[in-house]
A and B are shown apart, each in its own frame.
Chain A
Amino acid sequence: MQLHISTKDGMPIYVQIVNQVKYLVAAGRLAPGEEIPPIRTLAQQLVVNPNTVAKAYHELEREGVVTKRHGSGTYISDNGSPLARRERVKIITQRVDALLAEARHMDVPLKEILDLVRGRHDNLQSKEGK
């Protein structure tokens, strides 16, 4: 599990950990049932306060993304998929919003964007077909 902590953009560190774990689950890079590192290990790896990691894990547990198993460790929840779907839509929505904002600045009309998306999609599919 590779996370990247930044102190430049003003987002609290525990929120960064929560968001990135969710992202990794949504992207399929953390599978249901997979164990995530113990709090102390991750704290040392990221060089952040262990209490911050504990807070992030607590929040992830509260939201049902991870499950603590008694006396063993912390695992990605088996029922992570509905949340993963919601998260996936959320992530894509953010990307779409950024794309639309940029398109508006550059005076590119919506129809052109849609054509472009379709064109790129076809392009990708024909590549995968080969």
Chain B
Amino acid sequence: MNNDPAPIEIKNLSRRFGAKPALDDVSLTVPRGCVFGLVGENGAGKTTLIKHILGLLRAEQGSVRVFGLDPVANPPGVLSRLGYLSETRDLPGWMRVDELLRYTQAFYPNWDEGYAESLRKQFALESSAKIKHLSRGELAKAALLIALAYRPELLVLDEPSSGLDPVVRRDILEAIVRTVADEGRTVFFSSHLLDEIERVADRIAMIVNGRVVLDGALDDIREAHHYLTLRFPKPQDRAPLLSRALSVHGTGHEWAVLCNGGRQEVIAQAASLGAQVVEQRCPTLDEIFVARAARKQDAGKGAS
């Protein structure tokens, strides 16, 4: 069992669209049974990465393996074991909900009719409702239903709750939690909503301008980062220079510093500048993300 290939294994994947690098030397491993959250701003490369996993894009450089298989060379081998919810939920508008279920069922020998029916009831979807008349939330639930009903080993969700109200978001997150809790399946999902990533993911990767800037267990990442508030005896005109800081912002007497490791160095440097640490805590994922994303932009400006 442990020798089985990982659900997703990506090595040194790069992709360009024209002159613009969309993915830059991305390597990721998604272990079995985990909920893997892919975090990034719009346009960071999340959907491009997911298209490679689905075999919709061929790896120009590097390799993509899903259950050890190449998704471009072997689409049936990969897609029969994978459920996918696209950000655009492309469903045929002219079908009714029950027709959609029957239609999708035809493609999947493992389709579980009882499970599909229980999900339909749980999601409060009318069998006779036309797809084109469904609300945004119902559309998302219908798309999720057909991605879950054949009990795929790997569930891939691209921005599952973007544009949805909190009630539907909760339904969708619950379905993700239940998927891994009941069956030990693997979930890979992208989101720019850090709150939901933080709740349900156990591993995350953060992607900024096509590069993976952070990858690991969520708790390890959180515990490695520190958020310190420094107080200076005199107001400072500009941000203090601290070599280990990822970001420094503030005004006057008080400046907030975010660092990844190197907390003692930051405290020592701050002391040598005459500042005192007045608060220390774990940063939120949101704060880590903002610091990382801002840092990348600054680096870009410096290079040009």
B180 touches A50 (CB 8 A): yes
User: How far does the Cβ of B38 sit from chain A's closest Cβ, in whole Å?
Assistant: 15
In the complex with contacts A10-B281, A11-B282, A12-B223, A40-B182 CB distance below 8 A: yes
B181 touches A8 (CB 8 A): no
Chain B 170-211 interface 0/1 with A at a Cβ cutoff of 8 Å (1 = within): 100110011011100000000000110011111000000000
Interface residues contributed by chain A, number (CB under 8 Å)? 21
Residues of B within 8 A of A5 (CB): 199
The reply to whether the CB of A47 lies closer than 8 angstroms to some CB of chain B is yes
Residues of A within 8 A of B174 (CB): 44, 47
The reply to whether the CB of B292 lies closer than 8 angstroms to some CB of chain A is no
B180 touches A49 (CB 8 A): yes
CA distance A50 to B222 in the complex (A): 18
In the complex with contacts A12-B222, A49-B200, A43-B177 CB distance below 8 A: yes
CA distance A47 to B201 in the complex (A): 11
Contact of A12 among B170, B177, B219 (CB under 8 A): B219
CA distance A55 to B223 in the complex (A): 15
Q: Report the number of A-B residue pairs with Cβ-Cβ less than 8 Å.
A: 61
B178 touches A44 (CB 8 A): yes
A7 touches B284 (CB 8 A): yes
The reply to whether the CB of A14 lies closer than 8 angstroms to some CB of chain B is yes
Contact of B202 among A8, A44, A47, A51 (CB under 8 A): A51
Max chain B C-beta neighbours (<10 A), residue from A12, A46, A49, A50:
A49
A48 touches B199 (CB 8 A): yes
CA distance A9 to B222 in the complex (A): 12
User: How far does the Cβ of A96 sit from chain B's closest Cβ, in whole Å?
Assistant: 19
Max chain B C-beta neighbours (<10 A), residue from A14, A39, A43:
A43
Binding site for B on A (CB under 8 A): 5, 7-14, 39-40, 43-44, 46-52, 55
